[in-house]
């Protein structure tokens, strides 16, 4: 029996997604963990990294398992972490890139895991863990992303750019956004509620902060989305001077819905940051997004959800599932078969096809892993739409 979505699509509803800035405590940790991944891949493209970071008041703890060159010493990792914190913008009494105490507890990868994952003899490289990964695409935005998360990211990115350029020196690194979007006839048409909380210089009121941020928020949204009926919540607590890891401890991997589709699509549960691309939590989620985006770009559907399932040490995916949400031009089973033909979905095949064994991950740690522009050095390669013709031919 074919699986279908249990609920038929609604045509009129409200949907909300949130985003957090690069200075959010959890995102600081994601950035540091991905900086470690990049450092290892820069030296050794076949490196194995599973790096977790904790941050609190003027303290950072980096821990995990690695396999790579001994030249990447604890002192060097500490140095890279400080550079990441400085780039984010933390030079505050409670969290300062130069003054924070940084502990590094990275040790060798488990031999038991390695023997299941590594290629040997006639055995191809296996998945780094079991798990289910989802990819999604839809026609709501130019980059084929759900509108609420796409614009929540865009708001914070524009404010971060303004802060870092010096245009808005009264803004701090820590910020959160939330966008509630009204859908009519199944399409996003306006913002009904906007939430923005941002760290700021002492002495500013919520009204002062709104005067700073409102032009950027309006500019980030489509024309006509902000109306006289839009409800604003800017720094609703009234004061946000103490922020970042000084205000709230951070951990790697706690913003997985922010990293993906804002709740508009399923999530397998695995975080991305701090993991090298042999970990299918990361690479297979990228592959699923890549395939879903190409299905929609090929005009085979207006919405597409793809699930991939893996077992640790096993190369081929256990299952490939496609849901076109009633918008498909061809049957889901045909798409499922086509996906296996147009892309090798083994861990090695994914890494080769998307060229993932490169230091391209620190940049993914904030403002979403999806809906980004592919970059010349291979960053965000999973956002390319270069399988359109192959998919059309495969389902013909």
Catalytic residue among 63, 114, 249, 394: 249
Catalytic residue among 153, 154, 157, 176: 176
Q: Are 148 and 181 in contact (CB under 8 A)?
A: yes
- Catalytic, 289? Answer no
Calculated CA dihedral for residues 65, 66, 70, 73, nearest 10 degrees: -60
DSSP 309-329: EE-BT--S-SEEEEE-TT--S
Region label for 64, one of left (φ > 0), alpha (ψ between -120 and 50) or beta (otherwise)? left
- Catalytic, 211? Answer no
SS3 91: strand
Calculated CA dihedral for residues 141, 144, 148, 153, nearest 10 degrees: -90
Task: Please check if 293 is assigned to a binding site.
Answer: no
How many CB atoms lie under 10 A from the CB of residue 176?
A: 18
Catalytic residue among 22, 27, 50, 351: 27
Task: Please check if 65 is assigned to a binding site.
Answer: yes
Residue 48 is inside which H or E element, if any?
strand 48-56
Task: Please check if 109 is assigned to a binding site.
Answer: yes
Catalytic residue among 65, 214, 336, 344: 65
- Catalytic, 240? Answer yes
Please tell me the number of Cα atoms within 13 Å of 289 on its side-chain side.
29
Task: Please check if 82 is assigned to a binding site.
Answer: no
Task: Please check if 99 is assigned to a binding site.
Answer: no
Catalytic residue among 15, 95, 134, 240: 240
Catalytic residue among 18, 22, 34, 52: 52
Find all residues with CB under 8 Å of 25, minimum gap 6, and list them: 55, 174, 244, 245, 247, 248, 249, 250, 251
- Catalytic, 281? Answer yes
- Catalytic, 201? Answer no
Task: Please check if 309 is assigned to a binding site.
Answer: no
Catalytic residue among 259, 281, 302, 383: 281
3-state per-residue secondary structure call for 357-368: CCCCCHHHCCCC
Catalytic residue among 87, 208, 214, 248: 248
Task: Please check if 101 is assigned to a binding site.
Answer: no
Task: Please check if 344 is assigned to a binding site.
Answer: no
- Catalytic, 118? Answer no
Task: Please check if 380 is assigned to a binding site.
Answer: no
Task: Please check if 86 is assigned to a binding site.
Answer: no
In this structure, are strands 91-92 and 95-96 parallel, antiparallel, or unpaired? Answer: antiparallel
- Catalytic, 123? Answer no
- Catalytic, 316? Answer no
d(CA 140, CA 189): 10
- Catalytic, 293? Answer no
Catalytic residue among 24, 48, 200, 369: 24
Residue 391: is it exposed, middle or buried by C-beta count within 10 angstroms (0-12/13-18/19+)? buried
Catalytic residue among 31, 279, 289, 303: 279
Catalytic residue among 67, 154, 163, 255: 255
Task: Please check if 307 is assigned to a binding site.
Answer: no
Catalytic residue among 18, 26, 125, 383: 26
Task: Please check if 239 is assigned to a binding site.
Answer: yes
- Catalytic, 332? Answer no
Q: Are 288 and 134 in contact (CB under 8 A)?
A: yes
- Catalytic, 254? Answer yes
Q: Which residue is listed with tokens 């939590």?
A: 281
Task: Please check if 329 is assigned to a binding site.
Answer: no
Task: Please check if 292 is assigned to a binding site.
Answer: no
Catalytic residue among 153, 163, 200, 275: 275
Closest by alpha carbon to 194, among 14, 367, 16, 13? Answer: 16
- Catalytic, 334? Answer no
Q: Are 253 and 121 in contact (CB under 8 A)?
A: no
Active site residues: 24, 26-27, 52, 65, 176, 240, 248-249, 254-255, 275, 279, 281
Residues belonging to the binding site for ATP are 24, 174-176, 239-240, 248, 254-255, 271, 275
Binding-site residue positions for L-methionine: 65, 109, 248, 279
Q: Which residues are annotated as a binding site?
A: 24, 26, 52, 65, 109, 174-176, 239-240, 248, 254-255, 271, 275, 279
Please report, in range form, the residues annotated as the binding site for Mg(2+): 26
């Amino acid at each position: 029996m074919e699986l279908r979505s249990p609920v038929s699509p609604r045509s009129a509803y409200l949907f909300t997604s949130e985003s957090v800035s690069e200075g959010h405590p959890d995102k600081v940790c994601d950035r540091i963990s991905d900086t470690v991944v990049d450092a290892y891949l820069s030296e050794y493209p076949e490196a194995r990294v599973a790096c977790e970071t904790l941050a609190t008041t003027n303290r950072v703890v980096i821990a995990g398992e690695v396999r790579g060159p001994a030249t990447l010493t604890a002192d060097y990792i500490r140095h890279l972490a400080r550079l990441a914190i400085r780039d984010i913008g933390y030079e505050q009494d409670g969290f300062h890139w130069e003054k924070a105490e940084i502990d590094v507890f990275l040790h060798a990868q488990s031999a038991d895991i390695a023997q299941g994952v590594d290629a040997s003899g006639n055995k191809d490289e296996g998945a780094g863990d079991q798990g289910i990964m989802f990819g999604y695409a839809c026609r709501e935005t130019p980059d084929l992303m759900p509108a609420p998360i796409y614009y929540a990211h865009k708001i914070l990115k524009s404010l971060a750019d303004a802060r870092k350029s010096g245009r808005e020196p009264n803004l701090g690194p820590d910020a959160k956004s939330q966008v509630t979007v009204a859908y009519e006839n199944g399409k996003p048409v306006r913002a009904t509620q906007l939430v923005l909380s941002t760290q700021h210089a002492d002495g500013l009121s919520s009204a002062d902060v709104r005067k700073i941020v409102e032009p950027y928020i309006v500019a980030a949204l489509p024309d006509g989305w902000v109306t006289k009926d839009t409800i604003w919540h800017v720094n609703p607590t009234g004061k946000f001077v103490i922020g970042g890891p000084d205000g709230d401890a951070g951990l790697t991997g706690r913003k997985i819905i922010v990293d993906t589709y804002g709740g508009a699509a399923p999530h397998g549960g695995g975080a991305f940051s701090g993991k090298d691309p042999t970990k299918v939590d990361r690479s297979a989620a990228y592959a699923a997004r890549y395939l879903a985006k190409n299905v929609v770009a090929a005009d085979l559907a207006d919405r597409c959800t793809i699930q991939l399932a893996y077992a640790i040490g096993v190369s081929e995916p256990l299952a490939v599932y496609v849901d076109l949400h009633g918008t498909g031009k061809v049957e889901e089973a045909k798409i499922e078969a086509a996906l296996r033909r147009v892309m090798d979905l083994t861990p090695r095949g994914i890494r080769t096809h998307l060229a993932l064994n490169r230091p391209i991950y620190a940049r993914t740690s904030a403002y979403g892993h999806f809906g980004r522009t592919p970059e010349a050095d291979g960053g965000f390669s999973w956002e390319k739409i270069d399988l359109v013709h192959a998919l059309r031919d495969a389902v013909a």
